[in-house]
Chain A
C-alpha cells in the first residue's frame, strides 16, 4: 500500500515537473475596448488590441515608414495608379486556413461596403483620400489595387492603426447571417476571451507564420512571441493601476502620466520606459474671433511663451518643444521644422502695442480628461500674464470641448491631436476651408493647395519641400501653436523583458517576455 502511494506521489510530482509552465503577461488597460471588429467601432485601446490579432498587407516600421507585412513586396506602377501586392506563401489564419488573394478581396469588399461602417472607408472610396476603382486577384498570391488617380498616402492609410491596419480577415470572422463574430486574422495572438468591463485575453496563435526577418520591426518584421497568454485588465483608475503594478497584480502599465512615472521609477523592481510619439499637443486660435483675427495678437502670444521651459516642466524632460505639425519622430522633420516660435517678451510687447491690445480677456479652453492639456493651459496662462496678456481658463468636460472644437466655437483652446503617422495627415487635421468645416484651424488657400499636392505626391524629396513650405507659412500665420509631441510612457516590473517603445503610442506585446508562471 505504502509503495503504491509513494509511486503515485512520485509520478504526480514528475508530471507536475514536466508540465508546461505558462508564460502570462498581465497588462493594465485604462479603458475597455469598444469592439473586436478592426477599424469599425473603435478607439485607441481597441486599435492597440486588434493590432495584435490581425495583420494588413503593409504596416508601419519602427521608424514610422511603411513596409510590407502580409505582402512579400509591393510594386507601384509608373503612373502611380496600380499597386501590386505579392502575398507571402504559407501564411495561415488563426483557424489554420491558408491566406490567399481571395481573402484579401473578401476583406476589402467588406471594408468598402457602407454597411460595415469601416472607419476608414472614406480614405479609399473617394470621400476623403484615395479612390479604389478596382481590386483584383491575378493569382492566389497576387492582388492588384487600382486607384482613380495617384495618391501618396495610399499605403500609409492602409497601414493606419485606426483602420485596424486594414487587417486581412478570414471569412470565419463573421456569423452565418453576416454579423460580426470574432476576429480571425494572421497576427501572433488570437482572441481568447473578451469580458466587457473586466479584461481582454489574448492567446498565442499556434498557426502564426513569421516573416523572414530576425527581429520585429514596428508592426512588421518577425512577430514571434514567447508569451502563452496576455491578459489586458481594464483598470480605469490610475491610482488602482499603480497599486496593481506595485503589488504585481499586473506586470505592465502602458499609459502612465509623467508625474506617475517619476513616482513609480522610485520603487525598486519597477522600470519606466518612454518614447516620443506623433501626437501633437497644441494651442489653437480661432482666427475668425474679433480679437484674435489680428495675426499680430496671435504672434504676440506665441512670442510670450517659452515653449522649451513649458514642455520641460510638463513632461519631466521626456519631450522637447516642437512648434511644427511635422512630428519630431518623423523622417520629414528636419532643421526647417526645428525653426519655431522664439521666446521674445520685447517682441510681444511691440506686437501688442501695434495690435492695440488693451488687456481684453481671452478665454482659453482646457479639460481635465487629459492632465497634460490642463497643465499646459495653466503654464500658458501664467507666461502670457507675465507679458500682459489676459488669458482666462475655461475648464470643460472632454465631450463638451470636443463639440466646441468641432463647431469652432472658441477663442483659444489647448487641444490634444491624436497621432497622425504622416505629416500630410497632421496638416490635414488642421488645414481647410472654415466655411465648409468649422473644425479647421488654418484657412489659407495657398496652404490648402500645398497640402493637396503633398497628399497626391509620392516622391519623398518633393513631399519634404511641401512640408517645409507648410511649416514656414504656419509659423507666419500662427493659426495655432503646436507645443510638443506626446510621450508614451510605460512602467513595468523588472522581470518584464523586451519592451520596446516607438513613435506609435501603442504597445507591441509580442516583443515582451516574462518568466513562466510562478517564477517571479
Chain B
C-alpha cells in the first residue's frame, strides 16, 4: 500500500512539471499583457516600460520560466501582479473556502443519490423509479448559476431568510458563516444529485440482474440485506469513480457559483486572474488544481478495493 502511494505521488511530479510548463506557455500565448491591463488606456510608452520591468516581464520567456520554477521548487509561488499578495497563502485561503463547500455538497449529494439510485433500481419501472429518474434528469439539466439565482431570489429576496451577498469564515462566526454558505451548498448538492443518482441506479440495475443476487435471495436473505450488503457494495465502485471525477472537477473551481453568491473561492480567483493576466496567481491555482486531481484520483484508487474485491493494489 505504502509503495503504491509513494509510486503514485512520485508519478505526479512529472505531471506537475509538464503542467507548469504548459500553463506558463499557454497563458503567455493569450494576447493581452498584465502591465497594459494594469495601466489601461492611460498607458504611455514610458509607464508601460516601467511597469513591465517592475513585473519582470521584460525578461526573455525562458528566463522568466526558470526564475519562476526555481522559486516554486523552494515553495515560493511568487506574488500576485494585481494585489501583490503572496500567491501560496492566497490560493490556500481561497481553496479552503471552495473545498469546504464542495466536500459538504458532494457528500450530501452522495448520501441522498446513492440510496435513491439503489431504490430506483430495485423498483425499476415503477412510479418511484419514474419519479427518481425524472427528478434526476431535471436536476442534471438545470444550470448551476440559474438554480443559484432562483434560490437567491426565493430565500434571499422574497422570503428574506438568508443573506444574498457576503461571506464570513467559520472562525469568525459559525452561525453567520452557515447562513452565507447554505444556499451555495444546496445549489451544488441539487446539481450533482442528478448525475450521481443516475449512475448509482444504472450500476445497481446491472448488479441486481447478476446470479449471486438471485442466489442470495434463494438463500432466504431479506431484501434489505440483499440490497445493502450485496447490491450496494458491488455496484458502488463506478459511482465512486464518478464522485471522484466530480470532486476533482468541482475542487478545481466553482467559479460561476462563487460569482453568483459572491464567495471568495479559488474559482473566482482563477477567473479574475485570467482577466487580469495575473500570471503568478493563475499558475499557482492551476498547479494546485492539478495536484488536487492527482490526490483525488489516488484516493479513489485506494478506496476501490473496499467495494470491488477483484481490484488489488
A: residues with CB less than 8 A from B are 28, 31-32, 34-35, 41, 43, 114, 117, 119, 122, 127-128, 162, 196-199, 233-237, 239-241, 243-244, 246-247, 249-250, 397-400, 402-406, 415-418, 429, 436-437, 439
Across the interface, name the chain B residue whose C-beta is closest to A40. B84
**Bound Cα distance A418, B261 (Å):** 29
- Which residue of A41, A241, A402 is within 8 Å of B37 (Cβ)? A402
Tell me how far the C-beta of A431 lies from the nearest C-beta in chain B, rounded to whole angstroms.
Answer: 12
Whether, in the assembled complex, B58 has its beta carbon less than 8 Å from a beta carbon of chain A, the answer is: no
Least Cβ–Cβ distance between A101 and chain B, in angstroms: 29
Is B238 an interface residue, CB under 8 A from the partner?
Answer: no
**Pairwise interchain contact A250-B32, C-beta atoms closer than 8 A:** no
Fill in one digit per residue for B149-188: 1 if any A CB lies within 8 Å of its CB, else 0.
1001100110010011111000000000000000000000
Known pairs A247-B156, A249-B156; A406 contacts B36 (CB<8 A): yes
Chain B contacts for A240, CB-based, 8 A:
149, 152, 164-165, 259-262
Do residues B38 and A237 form an inter-chain contact, with CB atoms below 8 A? no
A416 to B42, CA, bound (A): 11
Among listed B43-51, B116-124, B304-312, interface-contacting one: B43-51
From residue B229, how far is it (CB to closest CB) to chain A in Å?
47
Within 8 Å CB of B45, what residues of A? 436-437
Would you list the 5 A-B pairs with minimal beta carbon distance, nearest first? Answer: A399-B32, A197-B264, A400-B31, A244-B165, A249-B164
**Cβ contacts under 8 Å, A439 to chain B:** 43
In the complex, the answer to whether B163 meets A249 with C-beta atoms within 8 Å is yes
CB-based contact B37/A399 at 8 Å: yes
Contact B36 A239 (CB under 8 A): no
Tell me the B residues contacting A by CB distance below 8 Å. 30-33, 36-48, 50-51, 54, 82-85, 90, 94, 149, 152-153, 156-157, 160, 163-167, 259-262, 264, 268-269, 272, 275, 277
Is B262 a contact partner of A236 (Cβ separation < 8 A)? yes
B157 touches A247 (CB 8 A): yes
Q: Are A398 and B275 in contact (CB under 8 A)?
A: yes
Chain B residues, Cβ within 8 Å of A114? 50
* In contact, A243 and B50 (Cβ under 8 angstroms): no
**What is the CB-to-nearest-CB distance from A479 to chain B, in angstroms, rounded to a whole number?**
16
Q: Are A403 and B31 in contact (CB under 8 A)?
A: yes
Chain B nearest CB from A120 CB (Å) reads: 9
Chain B residue nearest in CB terms to A160: B42
A417-B41, A437-B44 are known contacts. Are A403 and B32 too (CB-CB below 8 A)?
yes
Q: Are A239 and B268 in contact (CB under 8 A)?
A: no
A-side contacts of B47, CB under 8 Å = 119, 122
Q: A197 contacts B165, CB within 8 Å?
A: no
Q: Which residue of A lies closest to B168 (CB)?
A: A198
* Chain B neighbourhood of A236, CB < 8 A: 259, 262, 268, 272
Contact residues in B for A405 (Cβ distance below 8 Å): 41
Q: Report yes or no: A235 in contact with B165, Cβ–Cβ below 8 A.
A: yes
Residues of B within 8 A of A128 (CB): 44, 46
By the criterion CB–CB under 8 Å, are B84 and A41 in contact? yes
Residue of A119, A122, A399 with highest tally of chain B CB at under 10 A? A399
Say whether, besides A244-B164, A250-B165, A417-B41, A399 and B264 are in contact (CB < 8 Å). Answer: no
Q: A403 touches which one: B33, B84, B85, B157 (CB < 8 A)?
A: B33
A416 cross-chain contacts in B, Cβ below 8 A: 41
Quick check: B46 and A198 within 8 Å, CB to CB?
A: no
B295 to chain A, nearest CB (A): 25
Q: Are A243 and B40 interface neighbours, CB within 8 A?
A: no
For the complex, what is the distance from the CA of A126 to the CA of B77, rounded to whole Å?
Answer: 37
- Cα separation A162 to B260 with both chains bound (whole Å): 30
Q: How many A-B residue pairs have CB under 8 A?
A: 127
Please, which residue of chain B has its CB at the minimum distance from the CB of A396? B31
Instruction: Specify which of A43, A235, A403 is in contact with B262 (CB 8 Å cutoff).
Output: A235
A198 touches B167 (CB 8 A): yes
* Chain B residues closer than 8 Å to A237, beta-carbon distance: 259-260, 262
Interchain CB contact under 8 A, A418 and B268:
no
Q: Which residues of B contact A198 (CB under 8 A)?
A: 166-167, 264
- Selected from B46, B83, B153, the residue in CB contact (under 8 A) with A35 is B83
| CB contact under 8 A between A247 and B160, given known A239-B260, A417-B41 | yes
Contacts of B165 in A (CB 8 A): 28, 233, 235, 240-241, 243-244, 249-250
Contact of A43 among B30, B40, B43 (CB under 8 A): B40
Looking at the assembled complex, report how far the CB atom of A113 sits from the nearest CB atom of chain B, in whole angstroms. 13
The answer to whether B268 and A429 have CB atoms under 8 Å apart is no
State how many angstroms separate the Cβ of B31 from the closest Cβ of chain A.
Answer: 4
In the complex, what residues of A have CB within 8 A of residue B84's CB? 35, 41
B80 to A: closest C-beta gap in Å: 9
A162–B264 CB distance below 8 A: no
- Alpha-carbon distance A398/B79, docked complex (angstroms): 23
Residue among A35, A234, A415 making CB contact with B41, cutoff 8 Å: A415
Contacts of A418 in B (CB 8 A): 40-42
Q: Bound complex: CA of A480 vs CA of B275, how far in Å?
A: 27
- A117: contacting residue among B37, B50, B149, CB under 8 A: B50
Tell me the complex Cα distance, A196–B91, Å.
12
9 contacts between A and B (CB under 8 A): A43-B40, A119-B47, A128-B44, A197-B268, A246-B157, A399-B31, A400-B32, A417-B41, A437-B45
**How many whole Å from B111's CB to the nearest CB in chain A?**
29
Cβ–Cβ < 8 Å partners of B164 in chain A: 240, 243-244, 247, 249
- Bound Cα distance A117, B272 (Å): 23
A234 cross-chain contacts in B, Cβ below 8 A = 262, 264
Which one of B83, B94, B156, B268 contacts A34 once the chains associate, using CB atoms below 8 Å? B83
Give the Cβ gap from B45 to chain A, nearest Cβ, in Å.
Answer: 6
Q: Are B42 and A162 in touch, CB under 8 angstroms?
A: yes
A429-B41 CB under 8 A given contacts A122-B47, A197-B94, A399-B277: yes
B41 and A402: CB pair below 8 A? Answer: yes
A403 touches B36 (CB 8 A): yes
Q: B43 contacts which of A239, A397, A399, A406 (Cβ < 8 Å)?
A: A406
Question: What is the bound-complex CA distance between A403 and B52, given in angstroms?
Answer: 14
Contacts of A397 in B (CB 8 A): 32, 275
A249 to B164, CA, bound (A): 6
Contact of A122 with B33 at beta-carbon distance under 8 Å, contacts A234-B262, A243-B164, A244-B164 already known: no
Q: In the bound complex, what is the Cα–Cα distance between A149 and B17 (angstroms)?
A: 56
Which residues of B lie under 8 Å from residue A246 when comparing CB positions?
A: 157
Contact of A127 among B30, B39, B46 (CB under 8 A): B46
Known contacts A128-B44, A197-B269, A403-B31; 13 further A-B pairs (Cβ under 8 A): A34-B82, A196-B264, A197-B268, A198-B166, A235-B262, A239-B149, A240-B152, A241-B165, A243-B153, A399-B31, A399-B33, A415-B41, A416-B41
Are B85's CB and A117's CB within 8 A? no
Listed residue (B39, B42, B163, B269) with the most chain A CB atoms within 10 angstroms of its CB: B42
Residue of A nearest to B37 (CB): A399
Q: How far is the CA of A41 from the CA of B47 in the complex (A)?
A: 13
CA distance in complex: A418, B39 (Å)? 11
Known contacts A117-B54, A196-B83, A249-B164: A399-B268 contact under CB 8 Å: no
Most buried by B among A128, A233, A236, A404: A236
Query: In the complex, how many angstroms separate the beta carbon of A191 from the nearest chain B beta carbon?
Result: 15
Q: How far apart are A226's CB and chain B's nearest CB, in angstroms?
A: 24
Chain B's nearest CB lies how many Å from the CB of A262?
A: 19
Closest to A198 in B: B264
